Amino acid sequence: MPERHSPPTERVTQVLNLLAEHPREPLTLARIAQRLALSKPTCLGILTTLTKAGYAHRTPDKAYRLGPALGRIGRASEDGTTPLDALLPHLHALHRRLGLSCLLTSMREDEIVVVGRAGAIRAAAARDLVGERFPAVPPLGLTQLLWSGDQVLHDWLARTPLVPVTARHGVLNAVVQDARTRGYLVEHLAGTPAARNEVLANLITSGMAETVIATLRGYLPEADWSEYADPQTTGPRDVASIHAPVHDRHGAQRYGIAVVVGRRRVPARTCDAWARATADAARAATAAIGGWTPWAG
């Protein structure tokens, strides 16, 4: 059958989508009509119907925002749809676009859990990673928490670290603010064959005796957050991974997308393009689960 479109329905969805883009900012009739290129009478009719149904709310100063009935619909959608069904297509699309392995992670009971993967992490590697858990203890977990808010980050830093943390808080604050502004965080390879955090995570989940793990942790370099600092160079970069957040409908970071690079001397332009693509995929995934980010812009 040929596809059929309903222009009136499309106009209604345009209004709802515009209101959803401004959850904290009521919009006037004139602004909504101008943004959507609708006549004021048509726009007013849509808004009046949505308000009666509870899908929009009219404020005392005659502006409009999303209505309470949408909360019920959102909760029903969350209960009836697995978020991974909506998220994994974006992960696989990013993998196809970049040709790099991608991971989807989530926080569960103070642990980082790998919930999705696209592409092999290493050539001929049999390890799946999906389902593996890592403790969210400094320095592990920064990329899963820094977009969650200052209090969450403060509580994480208060935990006893897996390796000594020697950097001042100002260094981490600069990294966090830059990542929140950009919408992504690049982890660089810092003088070793593999990133320290990768080695640490693999060590923690190795299954070796705790005494052996504790001894080997003592040989790892201290955490100073230098691997996340912007190299301030136009030359090639040694890139371990690239991270971006996926937020839920409350504006909380619920998932993290990680692109596993593990390459040296990546051209700066290529690294920037990969980072922007990762952030774009994370924003699309956020929209797919009805989320919004408090750090937009």
Residue the block writes with tokens 């990673």: 129
Secondary structure class of 193 (helix, strand, coil): coil
Tens digits of per-residue pLDDT, 33-82?
999 999 999 999 999 999 998 899 999 889 999 888 877 666 655 554 46
Q: What pLDDT shows up at residue 40?
A: 93
Q: Which residues contact 102 (CB under 8 A, 6 or more apart)?
A: 91, 92, 94, 95, 117, 118, 119, 257, 258, 259, 260
Mean pLDDT of 273-283: 96
Q: How far apart are CA 144 and CA 107, in angstroms?
A: 7
Q: Which residues contact 70 (CB under 8 A, 6 or more apart)?
A: 16, 54, 55
Work out the percent of the chain whose per-residue pLDDT is above 90. 46
Tens digits of per-residue pLDDT, 150-208?
999 899 989 988 888 887 778 889 999 999 999 999 999 876 555 677 777 777 777 78
Strands (E) in 151-213, as ranges, are: 185-188
Burial class from Cβ neighbours inside 10 Å (0-12, 13-18, 19+) for residue 141 reads buried
Quote the pTM value.
Answer: 0.70
Q: How far apart are CA 217 and CA 222, in angstroms?
A: 10
Q: Which residues contact 247 (CB under 8 A, 6 or more apart)?
A: 147, 253, 254, 286, 291, 292, 293, 294
Upstream peptide bond of 231 is cis (omega within 30 degrees of 0): no
CB 293 within 8 A of CB 247: yes
